[in-house]
């Protein structure tokens, strides 16, 4: 059991910036512990009230909306929401802790924390299910949708947290027992400046670890592999391409002939994955990372793997939309960057009609052409980034422009036949035509149901 690093918040003047899910959670949490909390959001009160329930913050929270943020210098502690960029508070704040730092200080149980560019939420949910299969009381939180602070005080044996690069910017002493870094590909460069800045934020997940902790690292990713020498904890590499090479390693994991293999000084253990129904190629990768994480905590990976039999993909992540037309329709609306789209295309396993496009995030699409050539018959491009993606494909893949997602699905239905895959993997943000990636995925599902049975009018 890890020692809590909690501190007494009673009487502290605390400023919470942003009233989204994590901000409201932090405001309530601090007020319940006797802090004098000011929760500020520059949106209008009526707009916020329509989206969020501000009435549940309690009488100990002073809410300021529709005006510039107060000066953080006037508060003992500033708790920014992940979406608030650091330049808004860093220069004047006396002390900065995000909700992940607060959670780490008030959780007296081991933490498994997961970061990376793609696959975080699925891996976190797999870890949660695996720990439960092994008889442990575990719950997931953080960027996965449940505020991390809501886990504090619950009767749990392990907390499993998804942490973003934004959240890692605001840690101070956060120390997970097991830190997992999945693939790192360009994303959020508008916030971090470049890939190096993005990677620096990610590597903070293990900066406070000690020798008895573990860093589970994706050795297929060159950026993550290069971090191994910086980890103060035991490095456990994992790879989809065979045994990962690391000098003086004690434990490692890899995929081989349909199984996950775990090696330590005592020998090898194999966990069959081929028999798990509905486990897509990306989810097989996530399962390897999840099994390595629970193994690092001391859980038998074979016992943990029993959770995979009943595991179902999270919505909008390589989710198969049921139809009766013989075509496999895959909703991967969560593929909001080129790296995620590449993984989706690689995992289709058949002739593919690929729907992509949306709001450009300033990332390169150049790597998509090579992987698309392996299976993509036609690319149907929508949204603001359609031209940029077509330019990156450079005539190597037939492309058609569509006005919107509904039109793209209609065209895909006319082009596809039994045995084909129609894949929504946008490689872009959703905000040009949709409220969120979830909204985009729901619209895809609805369009598939309209057109998949031949109703292409």
Cα gap 38→236, rounded to integer Å: 42
User: Is 143 a known active-site residue?
Assistant: yes
Taking Cα atoms as reference points, which of 339, 328, 424, 417 lies closest to residue 380? 424
User: Is 188 a known active-site residue?
Assistant: yes
Catalytic residue among 118, 120, 286, 331: 120
Catalytic residue among 118, 183, 188, 316: 188
- Cα 368 to its chain centre, rounded Å, is 21
Cα gap 432→357, rounded to integer Å: 10
Q: Three-class SS of residue 208?
A: coil
Measured CA angle at 185 (ends 183, 189), to 5 deg: 135
Catalytic residue among 118, 143, 183, 286: 143
User: Is 120 a known active-site residue?
Assistant: yes
Residue with tokens 């009609």: 353
Cα gap 345→339, rounded to integer Å: 10
Residue 100 φ/ψ, nearest 5 degrees: -70, -40
- Cα 48 to its chain centre, rounded Å, is 25
Long-range contacts of 319-324 (CB under 8 A, 24+ apart): 319/441, 320/278, 321/444, 321/445, 321/448, 321/449, 321/452, 323/448, 323/449, 323/452, 323/453, 324/452, 324/453
- Beta-strand (E) ranges in 392-433? 399-401, 421-424
Cβ-contact 354, 445 below 8 angstroms: no
User: Would you please indicate which residues are annotated as catalytic (active-site) residues?
Assistant: 120, 143, 188
């Amino acid at each position: 059991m890890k020692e809590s690093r909690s501190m007494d918040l009673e009487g502290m003047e605390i400023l919470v910036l942003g009233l989204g899910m994590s901000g409201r959670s932090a405001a309530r949490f601090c007020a319940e512990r006797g802090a004098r909390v000011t929760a500020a959001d520059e949106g209008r009160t009526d707009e916020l009230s329509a989206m969020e329930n501000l009435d549940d913050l309690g009488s100990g929270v002073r809410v300021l909306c529709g005006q510039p943020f107060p000066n953080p210098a006037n508060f003992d502690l500033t708790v920014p929401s992940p979406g608030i960029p650091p330049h808004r508070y860093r220069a004047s704040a006396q002390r900065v802790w995000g909700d992940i730092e607060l959670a780490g200080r008030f959780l007296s149980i081991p933490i498994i924390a997961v970061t990376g560019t793609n696959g975080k939420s699925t891996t976190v949910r797999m870890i949660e299910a695996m720990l439960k299969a092994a008889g442990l009381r575990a719950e997931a939180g953080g960027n996965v949708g449940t505020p991390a602070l809501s886990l504090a005080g619950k009767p749990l044996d392990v907390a499993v947290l998804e942490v973003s690069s934004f959240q890692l910017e605001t840690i101070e002493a956060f120390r997970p027992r097991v830190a997992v870094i999945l693939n790192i590909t360009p994303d959020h460069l508008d916030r971090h400046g470049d890939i190096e800045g993005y990677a620096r934020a990610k590597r903070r997940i293990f900066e406070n670890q000690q020798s008895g902790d573990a860093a589970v690292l994706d050795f297929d990713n060159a950026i993550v592999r290069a971090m191994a020498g910086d980890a103060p904890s035991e490095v456990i590499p994992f790879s989809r391409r065979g045994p990962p090479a690391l000098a003086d390693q004690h434990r490692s994991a890899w995929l081989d002939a349909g199984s996950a293999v775990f090696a330590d000084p005592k020998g090898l253990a194999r966990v069959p994955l081929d028999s798990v129904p509905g486990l897509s190629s990306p989810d097989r990768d996530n399962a390897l990372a999840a099994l390595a994480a629970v193994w690092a905590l001391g859980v038998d990976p074979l016992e943990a793997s029993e959770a995979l039999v009943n595991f179902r993909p999270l919505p909008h992540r390589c989710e198969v939309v049921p139809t009766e037309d013989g075509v496999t329709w895959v909703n991967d609306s969560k593929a909001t960057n080129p790296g995620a789209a590449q993984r989706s295309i690689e995992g289709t396993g058949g002739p593919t009609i690929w729907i992509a496009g949306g709001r450009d995030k300033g990332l390169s699409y150049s790597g998509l052409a090579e992987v698309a050539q392996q299976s993509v018959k036609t690319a149907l491009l929508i949204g603001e980034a359609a031209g940029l993606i077509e330019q990156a494909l450079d005539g190597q893949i037939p492309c058609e422009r569509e006005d919107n997602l509904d039109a793209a699905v209609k065209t895909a239905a006319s082009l596809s036949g039994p045995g084909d895959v129609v894949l929504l993997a946008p490689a872009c943000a959703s905000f040009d035509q949709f409220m969120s990636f979830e909204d985009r995925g729901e619209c895809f599902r609805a369009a598939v149901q309209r057109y998949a049975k031949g109703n292409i009018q």
